[in-house]
Homo-oligomer: A and B are copies of this chain.
Amino acid sequence: MAAVDLTTHPGHLARRLQQAHYLLWNTMVSEETTSPQFAVLNALVAEPGLDQRTVGERVGLDRSTIAEVISRLDRRGLLDKVRDPQDGRRFLLRPTDDGLRVHRKLSVRTARMNQVFLAPLSAGEQAVFFDLIQRVADAAEGLRNPADPSVATN
Contacts and interface: CB of A to CB of B under 8 A. Distances in A.
Interface of A: 1-4, 6-25, 35-36, 39, 42-43, 45-46, 59-60, 103-104, 107, 110, 114, 116-121, 125, 128-130, 132-141, 143-144
Contact of A60 (B11, B15, B24, B130): B15
Closest 3 CB pairs of A and B: A20-B140, A3-B46, A11-B21
A20 B125 contact: no
Contacts of A141: 16, 20
Contact of A11 (B35, B42, B103): B35
Contact of A137 (B11, B13, B46, B104): B13
A29 to B, nearest CB: 9
A132 B136 contact: no
A117 B10 contact: yes
Contacts of A140: 17, 20-21, 23-24, 117
Given A42-B3, A132-B128, A139-B120, A60 B10 contact: no
A136 B114 contact: no
